[in-house]
Structure formats: C-alpha cells, structure tokens
Amino acid sequence: MFSLDIYTIYFLTFLGNFFMFLMLVIFAQTTGFDGLMRHYIYGKLLQTLGGALGLFRGLVPVDFSIIMGNSLIFLGVAVEVYCIVHVGRIPLNKSIKRWRYVVAGIIAGFTLLYLAGATMGVRVFVSAMILAIYSLVAAAGLFFRSDATKLRKILALFFVALAAYQVLRALDAWPRGEHYVLFATSSSQAISFVSLYIHMLISTMAYLLVSREVIDIKLKEAATKDYLTGIYNRRQFIQLAEKLVSLMIRQQKPVTVFMIDFDYFKTINDTYGHAVGDNVLVQFSRGTEAIIRQEDLFGRYGGEEFIVFSPNTSTAETLMIGQRIREVCAISSNNNPDIPKHTVSIGTATMIPETYADLEYLIRQADQALFQAKRNGRDQIVQADIE
C-alpha cells in the first residue's frame, strides 16, 4: 500500500468526491431534494472544486490554488458535517449563524496564516487539526443527540478514529516545517492521504445511512401514530393493549379502559374553525400524556374520541384518573387563550381479564358507559357495572 504514489491517492480522493457528488445528484433527483440533501450535495461539490485546485496546482496560480482550494475544502467539509449533525431535525437560526461565523473565521485564519508566510508543515498541521475538529463535531452530533440510535453511536466512533488520525498527521507535519513535502513518497504520507479517502467514504455513508434511518423511523411512526396528535392510532393501540392483556391474565390483575369523547365538538369546529378544533385535540393529547402513568396506553380511537388502557388499576383508582383527565380540558383553556372552553365525557370499565376477548368486551362496556355519561348531561364519568 505504501508504494502507491501519493499523488495517485490524492487523485483518487478527488475522483471519489466527484463521483459521490454525481451519484448524490442522481439519487436526489429520483427520491426528491430535501433541504439537507441539497446542502450535502453542495458540500461535496465544494470539496471536489477545492480538490481540483490542489490537483492542478501549477496550471493555476499557486497562491490562488492554496488559498481558494483549502477554503473550498474547509467550507465543503463544514457543510457536510453540518448536514450529518442535523439530519432528521430542523436547525435553529442561531445555530446556522454560529456555523457560518466559525467557518468564516477558519477560512480567514488560514488565509492570513498563508499570507504571513507559514511553512508547508505548519499549514498541513493547521489543516489536519481543522479536519480533526470537524470529525469530532460530527461524532458529538451523532453520539450526544437525545434520539441517538445504535447506528449513530457506531458512526460516531468512526469519526473519532478519523479525528485521531488527523491529529497524528498534524503532529507528523509540524516538526518538519519548511522541509515538509506534500506529495513525498513515505509511509506517513500514504497513510495520511488514505485517511482522507476513508473520510470521504465514511462521511457520505454516514449521511446516507442516518438519512435512511430517519425515513424508516418516520414511516414506522406514520403506521403507528396518529398524524395529528402524535399518540397511538387505533390499530397500534389495540395491538399493544392485547399484549398488556396477556400479561394481566397471567398476573391476574385488573385492567381499566377509558373511553373519552369531547362534548359538542362540532360546535367548536363550526364556531372557531377546524384549525382551532385540531389545536384543542392536540393540547388535550399532550395534557393527557403528561398525567397518565408510563405503563398506560393512550390512543386516538377516531375523530374526537380517545381511549386509555390502564393495567393494574382498581375501580377506586379509575375515578381519580378519570377526574385528572377531565381537568386537562380546564387547564388547557385556562392556560391558552386560543383554546375555547370545552369538556369531555368519560366511560370506564374495569375487570380482571381471563381471555383476549375480554379486551373487546371491556371496550364495549366502556363505550356504553360513555353513552350513559352523554345521556346524563355530559362532562362527567360513568363506570360500567361489570360483575
């Protein structure tokens, strides 16, 4: 490997970035450009242009090649890392400004360093340390996210390894100073340029893999979560409730089903508009999620009707939970002037299940209790009388 010409390795890195750029353009055209994908492609293009200026140094003025070539590479890698760190989420405006200021400072600092007459060894040291910092930022952005997955953490370790190698490259260049030759044939130089090639591969694979993972997560959420409120949809709720019923059958513990329906919800939509009605449902869902237990299941059963499955809950506890759910409505309207006053009616059913069919039976009984609450005047809780 070390006998491979250093210039050839650099040329392959340039070609790699170029072909990655072309493949990403083709991929994006077939799957659709999102904001980050477009920026990532721009990052690859900038790195390709920067690499071309270094490749054809001599055909283009040396000063222009060094200053503009390195500036484009610094900017391109920064855009690349930015996309890897923020994939799957919308960055804040202040975060975007911070990145711009940092990259502008890096480019200005390197340019001043070159114009001040810094030796090749010093410039390579600074460039390698900048790339090392970029890699560490990518690693931190992948590893320390609140939603970091196993894939992100593994990719973060690769970026840490790349950063470590860039530090070694920097330490190799520093003591040589003006005697450092960029394309000199040596083991350290070969490894240095191979590491740049590996960085190009890993960064692209990291972005594509994490992007694909985000898409898969969103597809799974779309299949299991209600599109408006973000809580379980009816199908997923029933599937999860059946699993909990199985556990309660083995443990011989009681379960409770709450059927919840808004009172006069059509009036809210007709009076204030559907956007306000949707906001009422969203705020109610968030408030209810905050007060139920972690082991409870909460789902949208249909329209303005919601359902809660509460394992290991006695009849006495049922009334307390139901009352707290009713209070969510008052809290929402009191804390938010855009939310009109509203109430809910609740029907509950509690029993110790013996078969899977008992879940369907509980839902029917809770639904009948809900209808009774409506007939009794609404804004109340009715418990089904189950022997």
Residues annotated catalytic, as ranges: 304
Instruction: Dihedral sign for Cα 168, 174, 179, 180, please.
Output: positive
Least Cα distance to 39 among 105, 103, 111, 108 occurs for 103
> Which amino acid makes up residue 261?
D
Extract the tokens encoding 38. 């477009």
Least Cα distance to 203 among 124, 149, 142, 144 occurs for 142
DSSP 343: -
Beta strands at 297-302 and 344-351: parallel, antiparallel or unpaired: unpaired
Q: Cα(123)–Cα(176) distance, rounded to whole angstroms?
A: 11
* Nearby residues of 249 by Cβ (< 8 Å), 6 or more positions away: 353, 354, 355
Instruction: Compute, in degrees rounded to 10, the torsion defined by CA atoms 244, 247, 249, 254.
Output: -60
Q: Cα(155)–Cα(335) distance, rounded to whole angstroms?
A: 43
Q: Cα(99)–Cα(284) distance, rounded to whole angstroms?
A: 38
Instruction: Dihedral sign for Cα 202, 203, 209, 213, please.
Output: positive
Other C-beta atoms lying within 10 Å of the C-beta of residue 294: 4
Question: What three-state secondary structure class fits 180?
Answer: coil
Q: Cα(160)–Cα(319) distance, rounded to whole angstroms?
A: 54
Residues 197 and 240: beta-carbon distance below 8 Å? no
